[in-house]
Amino acid sequence: MTLWYVVSQKHPLTDSILKFKKRIASVIHNVTAMALGNGTFATAEAKGGDFSVYALAQCWNTLDRDECRKCLVNAGSKLSQCAPGSEGSALFTGCYMKYSTEIFFKKSVESEDLYDNTGIIVAVTLSSVAFVVLASFGAFIGYERLSKRIGGEIATKKLCP
**Digit-coded pLDDT (tens) for 121-148:** 888 888 888 888 888 888 888 888 877 7
Sheet strand arrangement including 87-92: 2-7, 87-92, 95-100, 53-59, 41-46
pLDDT of residue 121: 82
Average confidence (pLDDT) over 86-90: 91
Return the amino acid letter for 100. S
Boundaries of every domain in the chain: 2-107, 113-159
Instruction: Please give the CATH superfamily to which domain 2-107 belongs.
Output: Gnk2 domain, C-X8-C-X2-C motif (3.30.430.20)
pLDDT of residue 110: 46
Whether pLDDT at 160 is above 60: no
Task: Give me the chain's average pLDDT, please.
Answer: 80
> For residue range 2-32, what is the model confidence (pLDDT) as tens digits?
555 555 555 544 547 888 888 999 999 999 9
Phi-psi region of 47 (alpha: psi -120 to 50; beta: other; left: phi over 0): beta
Please choose, from the candidates 69, 26, 62, the residue with its C-alpha nearest in 3D space to the C-alpha of residue 44.
26
User: Buried (b) or exposed (e) across 128-144, using 16+ Cβ within 10 A?
Assistant: eeeeeeeeeeeeeeeee
